[in-house]
Structure 1
């Protein structure tokens, strides 16, 4: 137990050095660290008045705002745990998260743009809501119901008083539950501590150049996910301002980057497509220093290279809720082709150990050989909430986290991420990265995008492809297979090709991810039906 890395240190350090400096820019409002401190203490006072104490869990279903952050820091001061809910989620997903995290209190808003949160909440199975004692609406001006699903309703309107209570002095306490992307059995809840978040914020601030003069972060991803929140905490550790977007819009983001001279953005490839498409001019963002991205679709490389030609420094990232987002970045002097790959050098540098293990033999692999990425570092999570079996399976006996990701180490020790283990396919005795085959298919004239999955056909592991065409050429299944045969080993050539208009995707706090499991099921159905 200790207090050196309490989350609130990120506020207090700035209060000591530059209390009037800008912490957040929200709309037309500049919020100083001193003002943010006052807001946090008001939220803490309200939370305590609602009976929230150390160890309690509070769920929060809000879009990005300074109030979201103030509630989070207030909960940390109390020693309570935040269960953030994704505003993209619908009733089934929200119900699942509430049932898993067991919060006493839910803080939510009634509406945002075309999202009616009350309507969504009313569709939740009441059995999932048993832990909830109260629902509080954020600064609601409209008339609210007395209850929802039999749960008492109140408002978070403040009296204006500040908390005088001492914060809980335990930086090893769990302060947030991040949701994983999820499997067929539903997402797991990743427990992260105050000290992990604070240390990681400082590692990122120093390693990614956020402490340099004139640094500014544009926050573009939801705070409910590690990707969005870790970026903001890094900016706070650096003492540089964060421009908050309640929800991402490409044209607005481009304008904000230019208006405030933004140096850092961290987002998904999907997001960058919208941002860069909206940017005008040959060199639209002269202030940009690091625009880090996580690649969740397989067709981004050419786009990223084109962005570099416009002076937009897109660098691949690696991270997860378990080791925290923006864990590593492809910074430093290396060719652009290498900078746009996932992975890089960890923000915590020499404090992190990364090794690669062959999944079949269990043998540790040398540089340049692909296997499962294992990580041991100061920001490793402490476990999955109420799931000791999954926690046990996630770690090796000597404390390395089994990421479930495929990649390799370069000769200089930096990481290259290739794909999820579940995406990798063993063909002809070799473990194959799907992106290798997909990149060949996408090089065929007329192919807009392509995804492959592995299926069993006549007792053999084969690959099949799902292709989107761009309308510029006449494509056929036979032509694509013939082209692939000229470029790939026989065992990598798709056995079948199907044309699709859209891919099944799942929404996460970090962006859209193509669901290969659903593609695999569709392929099996097509094969059975002779399609």
Structure 2
């Protein structure tokens, strides 16, 4: 076990830690058992020819093997590239090529996902560095590459050689959200991961004797991994789902003294919908949530009334999830907003006007910039993108729009690409969407900006309620309630919004809405 306080192994040394460390589908794993699994996995990796600097792609659902692979890679100086189980052939090929992974550890099968079929769609020439597959749960899968069974827990291998540990080298690669050129890989070191995990444990005042986590987010993303590492650092017990389903989540929440959970608004909505109990989860203290769906404020109010306190938070692959979270003492309206108080006392947050380039005062919207111990090393093998993302004094340009609420406390408003510059002012779509959703006949609303005859204007899409809205009344109400430049140029009624699946939930395709708006205006 590493003596370095910034190593991943150091997170397991909490003196007050309790057992079990993990519970997977009813199977308990003690801390001693986990340490043994890490050593066995390190030995197995070494036997596969993996050494310092080599990249191992991990394409697994949430399981103890995932965590053991990460800690074992740290032990021998290797790097884990996290592969989203929602990925398909083009995305997997892009990640393998970009990371240069020599080995991929993959599921044999999981529910409706046919991993072998997805791999069959990837030409071997697309990913020349990949040498071998290791399969969890089967001896092999049909593929272009030789495959072996991941048998680290069953078969003894010669101990991995002891290497001089460097906690500042890459150990984990996350993918960013996709672009037309494919996602970049965000590199984190043991230091950035372990330091932030310790900050999370301390900021949340986690007590291993009375706090329990329901881990229902995928480990392949920073949201799931950060909450997991924070509770490992605290020495508390973690109950994990292999993949999110509302019914198993409800069962764990009901039968165990779960105090913390993190997820998307949609996850918590589904869980609540399965129980009629007025206050079904008496032990829950904090449910940190990311708002991906319209109606999240209404959900938060319902959850509050039923004893499930939702807390807004903020994070990204580059600065890690749970970078900040609302305080229990915050008023409800402030507590459910994204943003909050940074977990680390050494983190700094500022806001910059995107047009003037000047830093702005509290209350003024602009791009959020962050300096923190949780900040990534850079984009893997992409120094140009790294240079563009970091300011001269070391702050990460988040690409998110928000405002300071006070000293180092902030509110996340929207993605910079979603923010609208209307009438010379930066406007968050949610401001107009909330007004529309308050109108009779509107069940849901989304607002995007378009170029209309050389001027930036916004266009609204609304899903009608049982009684469809009257356009003239919608416009009249918005003109009464909003500044003229915020009133949409057009309001279109649609049956549904275009959506896409992500690792953490279903997200609305705002870019597709912008295209739809321009197409409809052009047709007029």
Mark yes or no: TM-score above 0.5: yes
Matched, 1:119 2:114: no
Correspondence for 2:370: 375
Kept in 2, the 8 Å contact 1:453–1:464? The answer is yes
**Structure 2 residue aligned with 1:444, among 424, 439, 442?**
439
Map 1:177-192 onto structure 2 (within 5 A): 177-192=173-188
Correspondence for 1:302: 298
Correspondence for 2:382: 387
Kept in 2, the 8 Å contact 1:4–1:171? The answer is no
- Aligned counterparts of 2:290 and 2:342: Cα–Cα separation in 1: 14
- Aligned counterparts of 1:462 and 1:400: Cα–Cα separation in 2: 32
Give the deviation of 1:46 after TM superposition: 1.1
- Aligned counterparts of 1:459 and 1:236: Cα–Cα separation in 2: 54
SS at match of 1:410: strand
Kept in 2, the 8 Å contact 1:59–1:106? The answer is yes
**Structure 2 residue aligned with 1:156, among 150, 156, 170?**
150
**Structure 1 residue aligned with 2:321, among 315, 318, 325?**
325
Correspondence for 2:4: 3
Map 1:108-147 onto structure 2 (within 5 A): 108-140=106-138, 144-145=141-142
SS at match of 1:519: helix
Give the deviation of 1:334 after TM superposition: 1.7
**Structure 2 residue aligned with 1:466, among 461, 469, 475?**
461
- Show structure 1 runs of 5+ residues with no match: none
Matched, 1:526 2:524: no
Matched, 1:346 2:342: yes
SS at match of 1:486: helix
Give the deviation of 1:284 after TM superposition: 1.0
**Structure 1 residue aligned with 2:500, among 491, 500, 506?**
506
Give the deviation of 1:212 after TM superposition: 5.7
- Aligned counterparts of 1:455 and 1:17: Cα–Cα separation in 2: 56
Correspondence for 1:233: 229
- Aligned counterparts of 1:186 and 1:480: Cα–Cα separation in 2: 39
SS at match of 1:113: coil
Correspondence for 1:475: 469
Kept in 1, the 8 Å contact 2:188–2:376? The answer is yes
**Structure 2 residue aligned with 1:31, among 20, 23, 29?**
29
SS at match of 2:292: coil
Kept in 2, the 8 Å contact 1:3–1:170? The answer is no
- Aligned counterparts of 1:123 and 1:502: Cα–Cα separation in 2: 32
Kept in 2, the 8 Å contact 1:477–1:496? The answer is no
Matched, 1:410 2:405: yes
Over 3 Å counting, the alpha-carbon distance change for 1:281 and 1:38 in structure 2 is same
**Structure 1 residue aligned with 2:79, among 78, 81, 106?**
81
- Aligned counterparts of 1:130 and 1:408: Cα–Cα separation in 2: 46
SS at match of 2:463: strand
Correspondence for 1:423: 418
SS at match of 1:273: helix
Give the deviation of 1:168 after TM superposition: 4.2
Kept in 1, the 8 Å contact 2:16–2:208? The answer is no
SS at match of 2:21: strand
- Aligned counterparts of 2:200 and 2:281: Cα–Cα separation in 1: 22
- Aligned counterparts of 1:461 and 1:303: Cα–Cα separation in 2: 32
- Aligned counterparts of 2:502 and 2:325: Cα–Cα separation in 1: 21
- Aligned counterparts of 1:66 and 1:319: Cα–Cα separation in 2: 25
SS at match of 1:281: coil
Give the deviation of 1:464 after TM superposition: 0.6
- Aligned counterparts of 1:318 and 1:263: Cα–Cα separation in 2: 20
SS at match of 2:406: coil
Report Cα offsets for 1:283-312 as digits up to 9, x if no partner: 111111110011123420121012111111
- Aligned counterparts of 1:385 and 1:477: Cα–Cα separation in 2: 50
Report Cα offsets for 1:411-470 as digits up to 9, x if no partner: 353111111111111111111111100111111123222111111111211111121223
- Aligned counterparts of 1:407 and 1:96: Cα–Cα separation in 2: 32
User: If the length of structure 2 is used for normalisation, what is the TM-score?
Assistant: 0.96
- Show structure 2 runs of 5+ residues with no match: none
SS at match of 1:418: strand
- Aligned counterparts of 1:370 and 1:69: Cα–Cα separation in 2: 39
**Structure 1 residue aligned with 2:488, among 494, 518, 528?**
494
Over 3 Å counting, the alpha-carbon distance change for 1:167 and 1:466 in structure 2 is farther
- Aligned counterparts of 2:292 and 2:141: Cα–Cα separation in 1: 39
User: If the length of structure 1 is used for normalisation, what is the TM-score?
Assistant: 0.94
Correspondence for 1:93: 91
Over 3 Å counting, the alpha-carbon distance change for 1:125 and 1:482 in structure 2 is farther
SS at match of 1:115: coil
Correspondence for 2:170: 174
Moved more, 79-88 or 38-47: 38-47
Correspondence for 1:224: 220
Give the deviation of 1:83 after TM superposition: 0.6
Kept in 2, the 8 Å contact 1:135–1:152? The answer is yes
Kept in 2, the 8 Å contact 1:139–1:157? The answer is no
Over 3 Å counting, the alpha-carbon distance change for 1:121 and 1:502 in structure 2 is farther
SS at match of 1:136: strand
Aligned residues: 521
